[in-house]
Amino acid sequence: MPDPLKYNKKFDELNEEEKKLLEITKKTIADFVEQSSSISDVNYATRNAHAKTYAVAKGTFWIEPDIPESLQPYFDKEKFDLTIRFSNAQLKIKNAKKDIPAYGFAVQIKDENGVLLANYALVNFPLFPIQSVSTFLKLFTAINRIYMKQWRNLFPMFIQVLKMIPSLLTSDMFRNMLKLIGKRNDFILSFDYYSVGAYRLGDQVIKIKLCPQYVDKNTGRKQKIKESLKSYLLTYDFTADVLIQICYDLKDQPINRLNVEWKNSPFIKIGEVRINKNSLLDSHHCATELLSFNPFESKIFFQPVGKIQKLRDEAYKVSVQTRRKINKLLHGKNS
């Protein structure tokens, strides 16, 4: 294999128009979070994305003993402690038996002293359908406002949806959408999970894939997702392989084209995520709800890479700050 491509901060840079649009989006995120308890009919402020928590659990990241020498400095222990949040991507929490199959597997990694090393927000679809930063910001802003019943934003939302259609017309998109439709009723832990965007690993740039082992896709077909997931994690151990791809060439492994899969970069197994049965945390506890899985709180050499990823940095900060402020006030009233 050729030498890995080195990280360059230019991969993340936004232009002036994108920066202005981001400021508008940040305001709507704060407004959404402030109103989120009434939007979702809950007694706390929710996240601005992946609002619905199915479960939170403790886990362990076990490192492969024979990982490549170049990766060993970043995985210098036998194991690391994990906190894992399972979620749904919708902005509004609904008490439905069947949610859309847009699942999150957020992982927080700490060392033996409890020091945060990295956060990774993994999802069960490997691609992102919007390539234009401006289109994404305008669309997300319009959606936030619609949830706050500002209906005049319906037309701007449809305009941005039309603009994103060309990004959907790739063979990788078609193949993965068909695969998702075929698996739409499968158990949440039977899906593979992906980083979608790229992340730093020191000076290298990588993508992450998590592949569960030995999970029956038909588990909990007659139950609500939250019930089936909790029942499984109370009864069984869960193990998943952690794989990475390394960026060598932007042509084959594009960082800012998220609607195509990386090719000519083999998957390397670096370890396993394990959740022992009965390792669930109380997902309704205020301290659990205040948890942040912001990838930009990670150590600098584990942080996200790319323009779309950069947007998440500012969005996470606004969402977390607003949510924590409100929930701490609510917690103080109820204590």
Sign of the torsion formed by the C-alpha atoms of 152, 155, 160 and 165? positive
Look up residue 264 and give its two tokens: 């000519």
Tell me the average pLDDT across 30-38: 77
- Looking at the domain assignment, is residue 208 inside a domain? yes
- Looking at the domain assignment, is residue 118 inside a domain? yes
- Looking at the domain assignment, is residue 110 inside a domain? yes
> Highest mean pLDDT: which of 94-108, 140-154, 261-275?
261-275
Q: Residue 16: pLDDT above 90? A: yes
Half-sphere exposure (Cβ direction) of 242: Cα atoms closer than 13 Å: 20
Structure pTM? 0.88
Find, among 69, 141, 128, 145, the residue nearest to 256 by Cα: 128
Q: What is the mean pLDDT of the chain?
A: 87
- Looking at the domain assignment, is residue 2 inside a domain? no
Look up residue 177 and give its two tokens: 């959408």
Query: Which domain CATH number covers 120?
Result: 2.40.180.10
- Looking at the domain assignment, is residue 4 inside a domain? no
Digit-coded pLDDT (tens) for 150-178 = 888 888 888 988 988 888 888 999 999 99
pLDDT value of position 284: 63
Find, among 70, 48, 93, 114, the residue nearest to 225 by Cα: 93
* 250 conformational bin, left if phi > 0, alpha if psi -120 to 50, beta if neither: alpha
Cα torsion through 254, 292, 330, 288, rounded to 10: 130
- Looking at the domain assignment, is residue 3 inside a domain? no
Digit-coded pLDDT (tens) for 94-111 = 766 678 899 999 999 998
- With contact defined as beta carbons under 8 Å apart, do 62 and 239 qualify? no
pLDDT value of position 171: 92
Please report the DSSP string for 272-288 in residue order: EEEE-TT-EE-TTSHHH
How many domains, in total, are found in the chain? 1
- Looking at the domain assignment, is residue 312 inside a domain? yes
- Domain limits for position 174: 9-334
- Looking at the domain assignment, is residue 264 inside a domain? yes
> Highest mean pLDDT: which of 19-33, 180-194, 318-332?
180-194
